[in-house]
Amino acid sequence: MGILRFDFKFPKEVIMHRVRIGVIGTGGMGTGHCNTMEDIEEVELTAVCDIDEEAYKPLVEKYSVQGFRDYRDLVDSGLVDAAIVATPHYDHPPISIYAMRKGLHVLSEKPMAVTVKAAEEMARTAEETGVKFAVMYQSRSLPVYQAARRLVEKGKLGEIYRTCFVDPHFRTQAYYNSAGWRATWRGEGGGVIINQAPHGIDLFMWLGGLPSWVTAWIRTRLHDIEVEDEVHALLDYPNGARGYYYTSTVEHPSGSYMELCGDKGKLVVRDGKLYFWELEVPVSEFAKTSDQMWASPEAEQIEVPLEERETGHKAIIRNFARSILYGEPLISPGEEGVWSVEFLNAVILSGAKGKPVEIPIDRGEYEAFLEEKRRTSREKQVEQTLRITDPRHVRR
């Protein structure tokens, strides 16, 4: 039986039940989500929460909803069926777990947690409590990545023997200076790898799978921050495949490049465009059977059809609500959000140790490593806290 599809849109007035949502953490992203929800028929914003009253006041006025300073009061208020958690990352697990234990469905911002141990605890709690649990990995909704995933699932690449993902970003020092938690061990638990990179890492793991060993080089190249702004890593996969990964906030123009090379085909996603070549004869077979000195297998470039679909935060929030209302499969389920945290923990640990690190990583070792980093984290003074949503991500 095929997967049930719910592509049609209901007009607001015919939706009998809407999911009542509370947003916890109403900074740049949380405020963006509150505004995005205006266009989603299946949800209704009913409460907001931030430890800083100034951050939620404008939303209380704009949407006539109740505001809370303590997330527990929002969860216990009876006003919400589900919570979107958009605080800095360290708080995603305790808030999500509290909400799940009180029967709320949870959509956590990325990364779902700073450590894989905490990420697993979130996924386990969702399973135990039976609530819906999703992670805001909105890039999964993009037609090219949906199509790429289908190619991999159908086995069109054959066995993958090489991967490559180059995912550069750019940030100014002013960005890093905009909040005390940013780019600190104490407030964020890493640099580019924990903040900008998780979207790409999630796609890379979703399509290419988790490696079994990571050998990483991390450094702070351009910014005055205590965590890394540049990462290179070599990857070993369980089947003997090898890969390369790069991310940073020091490069412009940015624009990512992903390559998955398999025995039967090659897939490239470059600057949001998908390219796919299918081989008439797998390379492993052709290399052995051809009697021609300079021959290579026929490679046909296939035009991969892309579906028209809703994308971005809106798609993930709508899908989360439909999953609660009608059982629609989640685009970005919580248990899959664990993969990116496992990978980025391995990158940080390998970079710090100067040695290859095996996946699954030693949870106890990583917790101890991070605890020490947090203990010695340098004090960060911020002249003025800014909560400005990235204009590329939200409608207003």
Interface pick for ligand NAD out of 29, 113, 114, 151 (rule CB under 6 A):
29
Regarding 202 and contact with ligand NAD (CB under 6 A), the answer is: no
Cβ 227 to ligand NAD, closest distance in Å? 14
As a whole number of angstroms, the distance between CA 183 and CA 196 comes to: 11
65 close to 46: Cβ distance less than 8 angstroms? yes
Regarding 265 and contact with ligand NAD (CB under 6 A), the answer is: no
Assigned token pair, 64 = 């006539």
Cβ 82 to ligand NAD, closest distance in Å? 16
Crossing angle (nearest 10°) for helices 143-153 and 198-208: 30
Interface pick for ligand NAD out of 19, 24, 107, 269 (rule CB under 6 A):
24
Tell me, letter by letter, the H, E, C secondary structure of the chain. Answer: CCCCCCCCCCCHHHCCCCEEEEEECCCHHHHHHHHHHHHCCCEEEEEEECCCHHHHHHHHHHHCCEEECCHHHHHHCCCCCEEEECCCHHHHHHHHHHHHHCCCEEEECCCCCCCHHHHHHHHHHHHHHCCCEEECCHHHHCHHHHHHHHHHHCCCCCCEEEEEEEEECECCHHHHCCCCCCCCCCCCCCCHHHHCCHHHHHHHHHHHCCCCEEEEEEECCCCCCCCCCEEEEEEECCCCCEEEEEEECECCCCCCEEEEEECCEEEEEECCEEEEEEECCCHHHHHHHCCCCCCCCCEEEECCCCCCCCCHHHHHHHHHHHHHHHCCCCCCEHHHHHHHHHHHHHHHHHHHHCCCEECCCCHHHHHHHHHHHHHCCCCCCCCCCCCCCCCCCCCC
Regarding 387 and contact with ligand NAD (CB under 6 A), the answer is: yes
Binding mask 137-176 for ligand NAD (x = CB under 6 A): -x--------------------------------------
Cβ 358 to ligand NAD, closest distance in Å? 27
Q: Which is nearer to ligand NAD, 26 or 115 (CB)?
A: 26
Regarding 88 and contact with ligand NAD (CB under 6 A), the answer is: yes
Q: What are phi and psi of 120, to 5 degrees?
A: -65, -35
Scanning residues 224 to 253, which ones bind ligand NAD (CB under 6 A)?
none
Regarding 278 and contact with ligand NAD (CB under 6 A), the answer is: no
Interface pick for ligand NAD out of 42, 44, 81, 109 (rule CB under 6 A):
109
Regarding 86 and contact with ligand NAD (CB under 6 A), the answer is: yes
Q: Which is nearer to ligand NAD, 58 or 143 (CB)?
A: 58
Torsional sign, CA 30, 36, 41, 47: positive
Contact region with ligand NAD (CB under 6 A), list: 49-57, 162-170, 243-251, 261-269: 49-57
Interface pick for ligand NAD out of 38, 39, 52, 127 (rule CB under 6 A):
52
Regarding 71 and contact with ligand NAD (CB under 6 A), the answer is: yes
How many residues touch ligand NAD under the rule CB under 6 A: the total is 27
Interface pick for ligand NAD out of 82, 89, 241, 336 (rule CB under 6 A):
89
Scanning residues 121 to 140, which ones bind ligand NAD (CB under 6 A)?
136, 138
Regarding 393 and contact with ligand NAD (CB under 6 A), the answer is: yes
Regarding 179 and contact with ligand NAD (CB under 6 A), the answer is: yes
Cβ 346 to ligand NAD, closest distance in Å? 19
Rounded alpha-carbon distances, angstroms, from residue 145 to 63, 247, 299? 34, 19, 22
Q: Which is nearer to ligand NAD, 27 or 262 (CB)?
A: 27
Regarding 318 and contact with ligand NAD (CB under 6 A), the answer is: no
Contact region with ligand NAD (CB under 6 A), list: 27-35, 124-132, 154-162, 272-280: 27-35
Interface pick for ligand NAD out of 48, 59, 107, 110 (rule CB under 6 A):
110
User: Which residue of the chain is nearest ligand NAD when measured via CB?
Assistant: 27
What are the residues binding ligand NAD (CB under 6 A)? 24-30, 49-52, 55, 71, 86-89, 91, 109-110, 136, 138, 179, 195, 387, 390, 393
